[in-house]
Amino acid sequence: MTITFSSGDLFATPDVDAYAHGVNCAGAMGAGIAVEFKKRYPKMYKQYNALCKNGGLQPGDVFAWHGRGVTVFNLATQQHWKTHATLEAVENSVTKTLKLAANMGISEIVLPRIGAGLGGLEWSDVKSLLIELAGEHHVTLLVAEEFIAGKSLRE
């Protein structure tokens, strides 16, 4: 459908029904924006951690968690927090997420620069991939290309 790149803060953006962010498959959310997801959604973190400990999350997978009025898509972009993300894992997890979201009736997903921060990928490569994938699906992606605390991505 569409993709919009903006500057701001995911969590200062109103009317968000779904978020996505990159995670490792080791069960750790100890750095980057994952820390904020862990803090805001502790039940999600516990389920994610247990899934990882049981080997149930592999690169390219997605763990969709449903909370009160929000869905969080945890995109498995890297094996371990000590390793880098791969474009293949980003592509596979984003594709699965877009299909899941469409089946769930979710029309928009808000996300950071997945795989390009602590994941170590070049943002230009990830951005091109996201543009391509967004054009193939009926879910809008709203991407925080630059973090500005307290500013809505919709401003």
Burial (Cβ within 10 Å: 0-12, 13-18, ≥19) of residue 77: buried
d(CA 31, CA 13): 21
CATH no. for 3-147: 3.40.220.10
| End-to-end alpha carbon distance in the chain | 21
Give 46-62 as a DSSP string. HHHHHHHHTT---TT-E
d(CA 115, CA 154): 23
Quickly tell me which residue has 């995109």 as its tokens.
75
- Which of 80, 49, 75 is CA-nearest to residue 64? 75
Instruction: Note down pLDDT in tens along the chain; length 155 residues.
Output: 689 999 999 999 999 999 999 999 999 999 989 999 999 999 999 999 999 999 999 999 999 999 989 999 999 999 998 999 999 999 999 999 999 999 999 999 999 999 998 889 999 999 999 999 998 888 999 999 999 999 999 98
d(CA 43, CA 74): 13
pLDDT at 45 (0 to 100): 97
Question: Three-state SS for 112?
Answer: coil
pLDDT at 1 (0 to 100): 63
Angle at which helices 33-40 and 42-53 cross, to 10°: 110
pLDDT at 54 (0 to 100): 95
Q: Read off the pTM.
A: 0.95
Tokens of 114: 């997945």
Any idea where the domains of the chain sit in the sequence?
A: 3-147
CA atoms within 13 A on the CB side of 65: 22
